[in-house]
């Protein structure tokens, strides 16, 4: 039933549903469309600048125009068809108030299948509710699924109240930005599913799992927990089509024992001079000499100076690489389509193996 619901919502996908996370600096239109071509659900990352005239608005328009061509659907662009990829939106910046004015017209023109919202500021809790209303009130046959990424049960309840069709339950094993305090998917996913079923019985709300999933075995486990889709982030950083710099791909492939060699911290943003994220969110990255200096007591300002010097000298070992704890399962760079098919096939194999034990 879960598989049939995702197939109904996203007709071009295959079961089990594999999704690439809309990671900034990774998920470009080439990656997303390659995922989509083999039955996954590909997402691009729009960013966080909603101001009128922003260069990212033109980039979004250009990338979505390119998607129609890359998927061989250009002839369908004007017949009301849905573009079978999604767009990720970061929502914590004050400029999110311009979403209806600047972003919705572009989305309405290209009609992506899903809009993924993440990281509203606690100071503006109405942001997601307003965005959903702006998308739904455009007087257009375009009716995308609203995806909201959360890291707690309370946030999931809030997302459902605001109109989410899909809730991404992101566990603390995830790479990159996430709730600073949370749980792993093994408890988070089932509890969110229970909340959705018991407190919103008249709504069709699906739950996807994200965080620490590096291969098809993790995807199968997520399905066993009740998730209807599996999100991978770190695994797609090493995709051939990824925008990630080469040193990041090499660092991920070289790293093992992710629970020991990655760490959640505000420091990863602060050392790079990014103080924009609300305190609700931190991020997980690979442990580097820069982080080790911080942990031993080196002041932030000195760490920033050392990082800048490392960048100027070409010492990439000290630079930040976002990564989840599943990093040790990632052994090579691969095309995004190959990753998607491999994870799906491995998940089906893992499910069949479990059945053979029963």
How many domains does the chain contain in total? 2
pLDDT at 227: 98
* Same domain for 346 and 301: no
Q: Which residues are CB-neighbours of 8 under 8 A, at least 6 positions away?
A: none
Task: Tell me the sheet residues that pair with 224.
Answer: none
In a domain? residue 43: yes
Closest CA to 27 of 118, 120, 162, 161: 118
Q: Measure the CA–CA gap between 312 and 152, rounded to whole angstroms.
A: 39
Task: Name the one residue in this structure whose structure tokens are 């503006």.
Answer: 124
| 274 and 253 within one domain | yes
201 and 158 belong to one structural domain: yes
Query: Is the full-model pTM beyond 0.85?
Result: yes
**What are the residues whose beta carbons fall under 8 Å from the beta carbon of 64, sequence distance 6 or more?**
29, 83, 87, 106, 109, 110, 112
In 3D space, the residue among 156, 118, 120, 353 whose CA is nearest the CA of residue 233 turns out to be 118
The reply to whether 325 falls in a domain is: no
Domain with 18 in it: what CATH number?
Answer: 3.20.20.70
For residue 19, being part of any structural domain is answered with yes
Q: What is the pLDDT of residue 1?
A: 47
- The phi and psi torsions of 173 (rounded to 5 degrees) equal -80, -5
Phi, psi values for residue 351, rounded to 5°: -65, -45
Instruction: Say if residue 102 is in the same domain as residue 225.
Output: yes
For 100, the token pair is: 């209806």
Instruction: Report whether pLDDT(285) > 90.
Output: yes
For residue range 310-331, list pLDDT tens digits in order. Answer: 999 999 999 999 999 999 999 9
Catalytic residue numbers, as ranges:
177
Average pLDDT of every residue of the chain: 95
Co-location of 236 and 285 in the same domain: no
pLDDT band, very low/low/confident/very high, at 128 (cuts 50, 70, 90) = very high
Query: Do both 281 and 342 map to the same domain?
Result: no
Q: Are 304 and 284 in contact (CB under 8 A)?
A: no
Helices 185-199 and 216-224 meet at what angle, rounded to 10? 40
pLDDT per residue as tens digits for the range 141-199:
789 999 999 999 999 999 999 999 999 999 999 999 999 999 999 999 999 999 999 99
Residues with Cβ within 8 Å of residue 271, at least 6 apart in sequence: 290, 294, 300, 303, 304, 307, 320
Find the domain containing 57 and state its range. 2-242+333-357
Q: Where are the alpha helices (DSSP H) in the chain?
A: 2-9, 29-37, 55-70, 99-102, 104-110, 127-136, 153-161, 185-199, 216-224, 234-237, 246-254, 258-261, 267-270, 289-295, 300-313, 336-357
* Ramachandran angles phi, psi of 246, nearest 5°: -60, -35
Task: Give yes or no: residues 310 and 346 share one domain.
Answer: no
């Amino acid at each position: 039933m879960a598989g049939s619901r995702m197939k109904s919502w996203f007709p071009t996908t295959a079961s089990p549903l594999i999704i690439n996370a809309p990671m900034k600096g990774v998920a470009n239109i080439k990656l997303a469309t390659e995922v989509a071509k083999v039955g996954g659900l590909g997402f691009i990352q729009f960013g966080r600048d909603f101001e009128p005239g922003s260069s990212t608005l033109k980039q979004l328009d250009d990338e979505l125009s390119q998607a129609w061509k890359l998927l061989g659907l250009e002839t369908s662009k004007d017949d009301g068809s849905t573009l079978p990829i999604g767009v990720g939106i970061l929502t914590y910046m004050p400029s999110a108030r311009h979403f209806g004015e600047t972003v919705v017209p572009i989305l309405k023109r290209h009609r992506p299948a899903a809009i993924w919202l993440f990281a509203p500021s606690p100071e503006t809790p109405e942001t997601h509710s307003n965005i959903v209303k702006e998308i739904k009130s455009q007087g257009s046959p375009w009716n995308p699924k609203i995806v909201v990424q959360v890291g707690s049960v309370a946030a999931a309840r809030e997302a459902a109240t605001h109109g989410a069709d899909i809730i991404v339950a992101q566990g603390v094993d995830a790479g990159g930005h996430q709730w600073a305090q949370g749980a792993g998917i093994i408890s988070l996913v089932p509890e969110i599913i229970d909340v959705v079923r018991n407190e919103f019985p008249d709504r069709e709300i699906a739950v996807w799992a994200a965080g620490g999933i590096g291969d098809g075995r993790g995807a199968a486990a997520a399905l066993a927990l009740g998730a209807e889709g599996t999100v991978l982030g770190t695994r797609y950083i090493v995709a051939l089509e990824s925008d990630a710099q080469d040193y990041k791909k090499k660092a991920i492939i070289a790293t093992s024992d992710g629970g020991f060699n990655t760490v959640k911290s505000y420091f990863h943003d602060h050392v790079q001079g990014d103080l924009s994220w609300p305190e609700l969110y931190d991020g997980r990255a690979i442990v580097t000499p820069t982080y080790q200096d911080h942990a031993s007591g080196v002041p932030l300002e000195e760490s920033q100076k050392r990082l800048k010097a490392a960048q100027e000298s070409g010492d990439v070992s000290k630079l930040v690489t976002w990564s989840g704890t599943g990093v040790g399962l990632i052994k090579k760079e691969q095309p995004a389509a190959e990753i998607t098919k491999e994870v799906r096939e491995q998940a089906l194999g893992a499910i069949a193996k479990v059945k053979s034990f029963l």
